[in-house]
A and B are shown apart, each in its own frame.
Chain A
């Protein structure tokens, strides 16, 4: 008996079945690991991905403990870590940037105190600062560098600029010169928000000084006029429309993002950390600006106490779960052996954290040399605010920075928004 309902029902059923099948195929995460140590890092591309794997295998061989390595894309890693953290179940050894996020995990008793590691003399003490909370060390670094302007010397020359700007006024003049020459002055991944917060943070560091920024953070109050003034300078810069087309939704990485724009030589500069040259090549699929790439520190702002030798910076490190077996300390020290540090610097194009850089990077390339020089000139560093502060504050700073350059927030509203977030946190 043929029911007229049959056919459309079958159609819908088939569609639903196909959907469920696709949905099921989309989730593939398996359960617990049998390995002694699970190791989560974010270098999900070769050669670095293989290097971590190789080190884990070698140490496994030596020690007899097993390591299961997971390479996870940066943004996905953050998403997975937040759920792992809330479940109180951290991986044995995992990527961290230190600061407020690590502090929250420490406060919840989830992180192993590694102050007693026997191999810390191999590391530059500056590189440990971000992972030190209340005098105790909770992670070991593998990369440490600074944020500054990476610029394309050819494009600067095209606009008739002979030397990188040393002051904010010169910087603004150069931006105008570049615009007049038909060059996009600045590449910006505005959709990701965090690249914007570097500008605001640096302006605060120059206008209020590191002490002023620290005092604001300690008090949980950014009402000092310097914070508003920093916002005003950034808003003025944005009003010049110095960014590439579509920056409002552009990511930092991916093929249409900030790094790719720089890599293809379509913008004159970007304010970014030590990983920028590598990201420019990776995301644009080109060799990047090559020899034309230069670096200059964020300019000084007239009248502000901050100097150009004070850097915004940070890097990457590994923290261990409180529940990881004691062997994890052994593994951390294995990663810090000079020979292994050298592999990380070479394969990952990282900036060295070694106490003795010459031993690890005897012949740095031009990019590494620029970061090493900047680090050597640094009189003080400040960790990126979205890592240094608790996540609620850091996200608000990022969010407000985006609102500011889009003209949705005034500098005063910016400060009010962050102050409100501080108030809610206390």
Chain B
């Protein structure tokens, strides 16, 4: 912070301004005109875009459309193209499927818990780690480490910790004098909360780094100006930090929800979605139906549902929440 004092921060803002004018995302008419002037020839475009486009169509667009197509068939995936057309039957089954409804409920639950617990925790830690104190880099690193572990490794690790026999968690409680064993992963009411705890352990570091980056983006002169005007610590936080962290918070909420909808590896390795679907996610249901039960048609319908859930959420969120960030405010007027 003291280093910022020595160099006047004003130029930094101006640097941002000058960058904005050359960025393609700039909304003004001038940059657009500039780009038009440099537009490359059709041949160049074709040469550069074609390879990526071919791969994209082959490995993304075609499979997605094919999945949408198979969702209208009863098909076990064997022996050529699907032939048994059933119309909307798969989707009708879906909305009456208790496992699917349970998946949706758990997505909602984990999302709410994430926003209420995980993100505030990450936010608080980011604020702490923004302070200048010895060992700050070590702490930042330490908190980020769980995020670097692959999900499968995390799951194996926690399956040992929560093992019903001599698991670390039970041993720890026993050492503290609590003799009752807890069915961490075997209690159908508890397992989803244990899962949430593991998700928090794994992902809070990621959100923390985003918040830290967001916090470092807030120009220090705002705080200095406010202090000169006699603002207290609480007021600095309430009227500068919180509003200017808005865009970062909104993005992390978005990432958190999308991540929850797509949750698979960690849960599959840890519990396989059990006991009796108590920790199952949409992706696990899809995998079970498609690759264990060979009901590819129904699994495709599930994947379409998953896609729609993500899409509808993304559209609504972008329109009503992220929309604010696109209109321009004190923080991003110069950049976005």
Q: How far is the CA of A406 from the CA of B187 in the complex (A)?
A: 10
Interface flags for A222-264 (1: CB within 8 Å of B; 0: not) read 0000000000000000000000111111100001100011000
**Which residue of B is nearest A406, CB measured?**
B276
Interface flags for B259-279 (1: CB within 8 Å of A; 0: not) read 000000000000110111000
User: Would you give the shortest CB distance from A397 to chain B, in whole angstroms?
Assistant: 11
* CB within 8 Å for A82 and B291 given contacts A15-B144, A15-B147, A246-B165: yes
- A-B pair count, CB < 8 Å, reads 134
Q: How far is the CA of A247 from the CA of B163 in the complex (A)?
A: 11
**Which residue of A is nearest B265, CB measured?**
A26
Give residues in A with beta carbon < 8 Å to B.
1-5, 7-9, 11-12, 15, 18-19, 22-23, 26, 78-79, 82-83, 85-86, 88, 104-105, 107-110, 190-191, 193, 244-250, 255-256, 260-261, 390-392, 395-396, 399, 402-403, 406, 408, 424
Q: Are A11 and B12 in contact (CB under 8 A)?
A: no
| B288 interfacial contact with A, CB 8 Å | yes
| B122 interfacial contact with A, CB 8 Å | no
Which of B48-56, B61-69, B206-214, B311-319 lies at the interface with chain A? B206-214
Q: How far is the CA of A260 from the CA of B150 in the complex (A)?
A: 27
Q: Could you list some 25 contacts between A and B, CB below 8 A?
A: A2-B7, A5-B216, A7-B216, A8-B217, A11-B209, A19-B147, A26-B150, A85-B78, A88-B78, A104-B78, A108-B79, A110-B78, A246-B165, A246-B186, A248-B183, A248-B186, A248-B188, A248-B274, A248-B275, A249-B183, A249-B186, A249-B275, A255-B163, A402-B275, A424-B74
Question: Which 6 pairs show the lowest CB-CB distances between chains A and B?
Answer: A246-B164, A8-B213, A248-B186, A108-B78, A108-B79, A248-B275
Q: How far is the CA of A110 from the CA of B78 in the complex (A)?
A: 9
User: Would you give the shortest CB distance from A79 to chain B, in whole angstroms?
Assistant: 6
Q: Are A9 and B213 in contact (CB under 8 A)?
A: yes
* CB within 8 Å for A105 and B144 given contacts A248-B186, A406-B276: no
Q: Are B275 and A82 in contact (CB under 8 A)?
A: no
User: Would you give the shortest CB distance from A404 to chain B, in whole angstroms?
Assistant: 9
Q: Are A391 and B294 in contact (CB under 8 A)?
A: yes
Q: Are B15 and A408 in contact (CB under 8 A)?
A: no
Interface flags for B163-204 (1: CB within 8 Å of A; 0: not) read 111110000000000000101011110010000000000000
In the complex, chain B residues 128-174 whose Cβ is within 8 Å of any chain A Cβ: 140, 144, 147-150, 152, 163-167
Q: Which residues of B contact A12 (CB under 8 A)?
A: 209-210, 213
Q: Are A23 and B275 in contact (CB under 8 A)?
A: no
Q: Are B209 and A8 in contact (CB under 8 A)?
A: yes
With A88-B78, A191-B271, A402-B275 given, name 18 new contacts (CB 8 A). A3-B15, A4-B9, A8-B212, A12-B210, A12-B213, A19-B148, A85-B77, A85-B78, A193-B274, A246-B165, A246-B181, A248-B186, A249-B183, A249-B274, A390-B294, A392-B295, A402-B274, A406-B276
Q: How far is the CA of A104 from the CA of B77 in the complex (A)?
A: 10
| B227 interfacial contact with A, CB 8 Å | no
**Which residue of A is nearest B11, CB measured?**
A1
Q: Are A4 and B4 in contact (CB under 8 A)?
A: yes
* CB within 8 Å for A250 and B147 given contacts A9-B213, A85-B78: no
* CB within 8 Å for A82 and B296 given contacts A1-B15, A256-B164: no
B12, B164, B274: which contacts A3 (Cβ < 8 A)? Answer: B12
